[in-house]
Structure 1
Amino acid sequence: MEMKVPPAVIMLVFGGLMYVLDRFLPVGEFDFFGRQELAVFLSGLGILVILISVIQFFIKKTTVDPLNPKKTRKLVTNGVYNYTRNPMYLGMLLFLLAFGLKLGNAFNTLIAAGFVSYMNHFQIKPEEEMLMKLFGQEYKIYCKLTRRWF
């Protein structure tokens, strides 16, 4: 797998794009009762999902480094990984959605969708190819049982 940009940096870039869009696009502003509370909830949920998934990796004594999936020693399929194959990226998406709500521009959902597309193409698919090489049939079965994002 070729060198990639760390996913946390990608999330920050997309968050920056959201901020720029909100500052300079004169349309798309919205508000509703509980918007700020929902943003706080989603960001907290995103952080919680990321923390739980990282803790699960440490418990299994395998790498959390997405740039070096060859270092992976064990396939984590329990806990939050029973519901999503990419909870760390899902947590980042939740955090971006929360940021979009905080900014209050509807067009930020397009940027969040761009994050999903980018991650699928440039991060997740190469990781999946490497995990298939490392774990074979076990990973193939896991992919059939567990969705990529939700």
Structure 2
Amino acid sequence: MAKDDLRKALKELHPLQVIDLPPSWTAVFAVAGFALGHGGVGGFGLGLGGLLILAGLGLMGLAAKKIREHDTTIIPHFHADELVTTGIYSRTRNPIYLGDVLILSGIFVAGGAGLSLVLVPAFIWVLTVRFVLPEERRLAERFGDRWTEYAARTRRWI
């Protein structure tokens, strides 16, 4: 999906759909995590947190590049034109959402909010219910046996 197509697609989203995107949920969980409290930022926490954030961004970048190569959508609420199964998508069906999880974890670790890591499983649940399961239903409807075979050989997360 070209940049102009992406801009056009985002304009077509209902305002609530714009809010209901993974980066918004990441921000909500980050704020909630810091509301639980955090300690001082140590060198180890900052370094490990930074690595987790970079790993998450890297996964997202690889996934976005592969989606762009296949000229399909990156927007969760839209129907895919292609079933992307190569590159990072041969390792995980959800590299962008996995990137969100790594980024949130990295934010908590870097910010010294280790206790907030208990929110990560809830964040994964929200991503799964709000985005992954509906996407999988759409992909199964659109791609049938190709989707079934892909889902059987490629794990949802890691």
Query: Shorter-chain TM-score: which interval?
Result: 0.7 to 0.9
Matched, 1:77 2:85: yes
1:62-93 CA distance string (max 9 Å, x none): 1111111x2x1110011100111000000010
**SS state at 1:63 partner:** coil
Match of 2:45 in 1: 35
**For 1:90, which of 98, 101, 121 is the aligned residue?**
98
**SS state at 2:75 partner:** coil
1:12-55 CA distance string (max 9 Å, x none): 111111121125xxxxx588762211111111111111011011
CA contact (8 A) 1:42 1:98 kept: yes
Match of 2:36 in 1: 21
Matched residues in 2 for 1:39 and 1:18: separation?
A: 14
**SS state at 1:84 partner:** coil
Matched, 1:102 2:140: no
CA contact (8 A) 1:22 1:103 kept: no
Matched, 1:51 2:61: yes
Normalised to the residue count of structure 2, the TM-score between the two structures is: 0.83
1:76-130 CA distance string (max 9 Å, x none): 0111001110000000100011011012233211111110011111211111001
Normalised to the residue count of structure 1, the TM-score between the two structures is: 0.87
Amino acid at match of 1:83: R
Match of 1:9 in 2: 24
Identity percentage of aligned residues? 26
RMSD: 2.0
Matched, 1:122 2:130: yes
Q: Larger RCO: Structure 1 or Structure 2 (Cα < 8 Å, ≥ 6 residues apart)? A: 1
Amino acid at match of 1:91: G
Query: Unaligned regions of 5+ residues in structure 1, if any?
Result: 24-28
Gap change, CA 1:16 and 1:32, over 3 Å in 2: closer
Matched residues in 2 for 1:49 and 1:105: separation?
A: 23
Amino acid at match of 2:34: Y
